[in-house]
Structure 1
């Protein structure tokens, strides 16, 4: 098995109920985002399908999605080339997210109703419950629910469009940064701190916690990338 196929195979999750196409896409996305397939590496669809023992159709569909995600590029006469994420890229993405999250959260805080604050608290309580039962995947789902709630509540649709374009990076970075027990609990505590600061209407406190929260996430991501020798 060649190096690309071997790396993808390590992340290939063929759990019951998950489609082969989705599993292949997620495995490829993970390896590219974390630099386990080097930037500029050529991927041969036919060879990869053979090595992974799947048909070419899910491979082709996965490549189409990765192309839309800007993680691979189809070059005439060359084929499919990876477009990886460097530590510099990660810093840029988190810089952008810091400003967008701060703007969205402060705006949401200013216009949210009592019922919306209650709903946001329910998300946090469910996150605590899932974490207490060791349900890591469900915790990640609740993290997404927390972020999506705030971006919906801020009532800034154009801002949400910008975030959606970054979501493929943000969701995966989030998944990596909260897999460790210590980091996951810290992230949950920081979400609660954001919520309480929003309740009091303390704009400076909200901004400070968000910056601290994202700095912790970025530090963890960079340490993982450095350990994997990502440039």
Structure 2
């Protein structure tokens, strides 16, 4: 099987309570964002349909949505070509994400209880232990749990939804960066600074 098709098939989850069009779109999107379909790759709609035994309609729907997201492009007389996420894209998304994260953290700071702060402290202590054990995958999950905790405590569901949508684009870059020991230690130190600023109700420092 074509390795590109195999990568998409791996991310095609039929257990979800979604339409086939949505599942195919999700699979293509995830595969492209994770970099498993290299930029410049041409997507052959018919080949995907034949190999995956799926009609061309949901595949065409997925590709049209990906064109609108600028993850792929339609080139006349050539077809659909993968663009992927560039470093420039990542910087732009990170800048947006930073502003939204700061807003979520500041809102959470004002609403969190002493018990919430104790829970967040315990979460960071767990992250330190996991990092010391060099359990990289668990550290990555711990970082995600840290962010998710702040989003939940901000009590801003729409903001949370927007941030999580952006986060999808950044998973690949984050995982590459955080696998560096130095970057993991820096991130942990930053999380502790965020916690201290929140405990002291220092909005400027938190920003």
Whether contact under 8 Å (1:29, 1:66) holds in the other structure is no
Asked if residue 21 in structure 1 is aligned to residue 11 in structure 2, the reply is: yes
Residue matched to 2:196: 196
Residue matched to 1:211: none
What is the Cα deviation at residue 45 of structure 1? 5.8
Residue matched to 1:157: 157
Q: Which has the larger radius of gyration?
A: 2
What is the Cα deviation at residue 112 of structure 1? 0.6
Query: Which stretch shows the higher mean deviation, 154-163 or 96-105?
Result: 154-163
Within a 5 Å distance, the mapping from 1:7-156 to structure 2 comes to 20-21=10-11, 28-31=32-35, 37-39=38-40, 41-44=41-44, 56=52, 70=69, 71-72=71-72, 78-156=78-156
Pair 1:134–1:45, CA change in 2 (3 A): farther
Provide, for residues 117-162 of structure 1, a one-character-per-residue CA deviation record: whole Å limited to 9, x for no partner. Answer: 1111121112112112111111111111111110111111221122
Provide, for residues 10-43 of structure 1, a one-character-per-residue CA deviation record: whole Å limited to 9, x for no partner. Answer: xx6xxxxxx93369865543226xxx8225x312
What is the Cα deviation at residue 86 of structure 1? 2.3
Pair 1:57–1:142, CA change in 2 (3 A): farther
Pair 1:68–1:191, CA change in 2 (3 A): farther
Residue matched to 2:177: 177
What is the Cα deviation at residue 81 of structure 1? 2.5
CA distance in 1, matches of 2:142, 2:61: 28
| Partner SS state of residue 174, structure 1 | helix
Given the two structures, how large is their TM-score scaled by the length of structure 1?
A: 0.65
Provide, for residues 94-136 of structure 1, a one-character-per-residue CA deviation record: whole Å limited to 9, x for no partner. Answer: 1101111111111111111111111111211121121121111
Given the two structures, how large is their TM-score scaled by the length of structure 2?
A: 0.72
What is the Cα deviation at residue 74 of structure 1? 6.9
**Over aligned residues, Cα RMSD in angstroms?**
3.5
| Partner SS state of residue 31, structure 1 | coil
CA distance in 2, matches of 1:38, 1:184: 28
Whether contact under 8 Å (2:45, 2:59) holds in the other structure is no
Pair 1:152–1:128, CA change in 2 (3 A): same
CA distance in 2, matches of 1:62, 1:29: 17
CA distance in 1, matches of 2:75, 2:166: 23
Structure 1, unpaired ranges of 5+: 13-18, 208-231
CA distance in 2, matches of 1:120, 1:184: 18
Pair 1:22–1:176, CA change in 2 (3 A): farther
